[in-house]
Chains A and B, each alone.
Chain A
Amino acid sequence: MLTIVARAVIIYLVVLFLYRLMGKRQLGEMQPFELVLTLIIADLATIPMAEISVPVLHGIVPLLTLVLVHFILTLLCKVSTKFSQFVSGKPVIVVNPNGIDYKALKNLNLSIDDVMEAIRGAGYFKLEQVQYAIMETNGKMSVFPKSEFSPVTNGDMKIKTEKSALPINLVSEGKIIKDNLKIAKVDENYITKILEKANIKRVKDCLVLTVDKGGAVFVQAFNKAYQTFNVEPLGQVQE
């Protein structure tokens, strides 16, 4: 059993390292060859984990080889658009201003129901609301609505708005996030002042504290309701 535990740990660490190496895309939207790689990795990793007579290297070597091939493919895709299209395919317009392109649908092995489902997923319930629907290479459908059905934005209404800023998390679960202090260009005294204003005695009593560029504070102590108020703007926050 100790052998299996040790093998499981080794293979877990190797697979974790490989996924880290391949980047975040492997965890989200995948191209066809990335999906193939993920499936094979999952299968290969389990064989030496459970079968003691199989050396761990029998699992690790093919994993490393696949990652190497993956990198070569990715590199070739970056260098050559044609190669990229060959490996990943290219986006296909399935709905155009004239309606559904049935030939494109057949080529993609999709049904009208699939298109309707994707359009509903994008927030549109009628086909006539859609100007274009494009089947992307990662299998997701992008929907571009007709101008009369697209959501109204502040820009359309010519409403002037302040630049929105990302709140910076300064305290999390009773601990000051020192990297974020540097980004916000403030020190621990700044946090102490905010906590005093919120009637929180110590940093370790604070569950979360965020401040945005304009000085809007969100603070919550453990097991208490949150409070929001404004303080001195950060001013020099790096975006």
Chain B
Amino acid sequence: MTKFMWFQLISIIVVLGVLVTICVVEDKLVTESLNNVADYCYKIESAIKENDGIKNEDVSNLVFNLEYDWLKDEGNLCFLVNHKSIQEIGVEVSKLKTYIEENDIKEFSVSLELIKLYAEQYFHFMGASFHNIL
């Protein structure tokens, strides 16, 4: 084997390794971050039921944590997916904080449902599936 052939062989192995790593990291990151969002939504729903309303410390803390975690995950996801496609969750989370201050439970519930829907939709277009391949 010549030097160039070695260079090609090593490069191909590196390229293959990079591709596999990117695919695995992306899948893990997408699954973890979207599951995390969905979990927060269910926890917030439970907290609303337990506290009989949205203007309380439990719900506020959960919304704060949801926002903090999502911003962190969104930053990482932006390396892998078009960040215009994943900005809706951030917008709806910001609205949640306003609705807590206004004690608007109806709009709060709508936003929460939207967040769950977006999380599910993002999983459809970002996750590895046969539908996405075709």
What's the interface size class on A, roughly? 10 to 19
Complex CA distance for A64 and B7, rounded to whole angstroms: 16
Q: In the bound complex, do residue A53 and residue B82 qualify as a contact, i.e. CB atoms below 8 Å apart?
A: yes
Residues of chain B contacted by A71 (CB below 8 angstroms): 8, 12
Of the candidates A23, A55, A64, A67, the one whose C-beta lies within 8 Å of that of B82 is: A55
Chain A residues, CB < 8 A from B3: none
A55 contacts across to B, CB distance below 8 A: 78-83
Using a CB-CB cutoff of 8 Å, which residues 1-42 of chain B contact chain A?
4, 7-8, 11-12, 15-16, 18-19, 22
Contacts A21-B8, A68-B15; A57 near B84 (Cβ below 8 A): no
Q: Name B's interface SS.
A: helix
List A contacts of B11 (CB < 8 A): 21
Q: Is the interface of A mostly helix, strand, loop or mixed?
A: helix
Closest to A63 in B: B15
| A54 and B82 contact, CB distance less than 8 A | yes
Chain A residues with CB under 8 Å of B82's CB are 53-55, 58
Please name the residue on chain A nearest to B79 by beta carbon.
Answer: A55
| Residues 83-103 (chain B) with a chain A CB within 8 angstroms | 83-84
How many residues of chain B have a CB within 8 Å of chain A?
A: 17
Question: How far is it, in angstroms, between the C-alpha of A23 and the C-alpha of B2 when the chains are bound?
Answer: 13
Q: Which residue of A lies closest to B84 (CB)?
A: A53
CB-defined contacts of B80 to chain A, threshold 8 Å: 55, 57
Max chain B Cβ within 10 angstroms of own Cβ: one of A23, A53, A58: A53
> Is B79's CB under 8 angstroms from A64's CB?
no
Q: A67 to B7, alpha carbons, bound, how many Å?
A: 14
Select one of B8, B18, B81, B84 contacting A64, CB under 8 A. B18
Q: Which residues of A approach B to under 8 Å, CB–CB?
A: 21, 23, 53-55, 57-58, 61, 64-65, 67-68, 71
6 contacts between A and B (CB under 8 A): A23-B4, A53-B83, A55-B79, A55-B82, A57-B79, A64-B15
Supply 20 further A-B pairs (C-beta < 8 A) apart from A21-B11, A64-B18.
A23-B4, A53-B82, A53-B83, A53-B84, A54-B82, A55-B78, A55-B79, A55-B81, A55-B82, A57-B79, A57-B80, A58-B82, A64-B15, A64-B19, A65-B19, A67-B15, A68-B12, A68-B15, A68-B19, A71-B8
Q: Which B residues are within 8 Å of any A CB, using their own CB?
A: 4, 7-8, 11-12, 15-16, 18-19, 22, 78-84
